[in-house]
Structure 1
Amino acid sequence: MWDTSIRTLWDFSICWKISIIAMDQKALPLELVRARLNELEKMRTVLVNIQRSMEEIMAAQMEFQGRIDEEEACLYQLKADFFEEGAAQDDDLSFKVYWRWLFTS
């Protein structure tokens, strides 16, 4: 999503550059053209920085999701181990304790 919007803005800015350059230079002073091109370069830099930031955020989000998945897997394994140990001792009591623990944790 961000990648597409940044590319769209960048494509627009390139078209704008071309249209400025294509204008009659007598009607548009060269200093003004240079100033506009500098503004476009600044916009491009900002857009590239936004894209990099979004990529970093996405990478951090994926890493965080991986950690959550690992923690959930450990939790489910702990619950399964607890249930198996309790079931070997007393089926009825361990089942009640397990379900109470499952829904309160």
Structure 2
Amino acid sequence: MKRITKSDYLERNPEIESQADRLRTSSDPQLVARVTREYWWSVEYLAWVDGRWYGCVQVNNDDNVWETTDVGAYDEDQAYGILADADRDDRPQCLQFIPRGDSPL
């Protein structure tokens, strides 16, 4: 099985490079990508922190409480995959740029 890479995502969605650049260059406030996935009742966050990609997922559990996974380092392929996934037409999703202070990152 072939692993999908940053270049594969960029080939399909060249506009995600500008989204990644926006995350890398934001400073005051530092921005985070927030991808809402209605089909999973989840939200994924992605940020560029100290020269690395970091992210986490929040899931709405059976008690209607948001649970956050541990924040972890993402490789570049994962980061671009999150941005590309937000641009898919076959699943309802929403990409927002929010201040890092408004996120669990």
Q: TM-score range by the shorter chain?
A: under 0.3
Name the TM-score, length of structure 1 as normaliser: 0.24
Which structure: larger Rg? 1
Return the structure number with greater strand share. 2
Return the structure number with greater helix share. 1
Q: Does 1 or 2 have the higher relative contact order (CA < 8 Å, sep 6+)?
A: 2
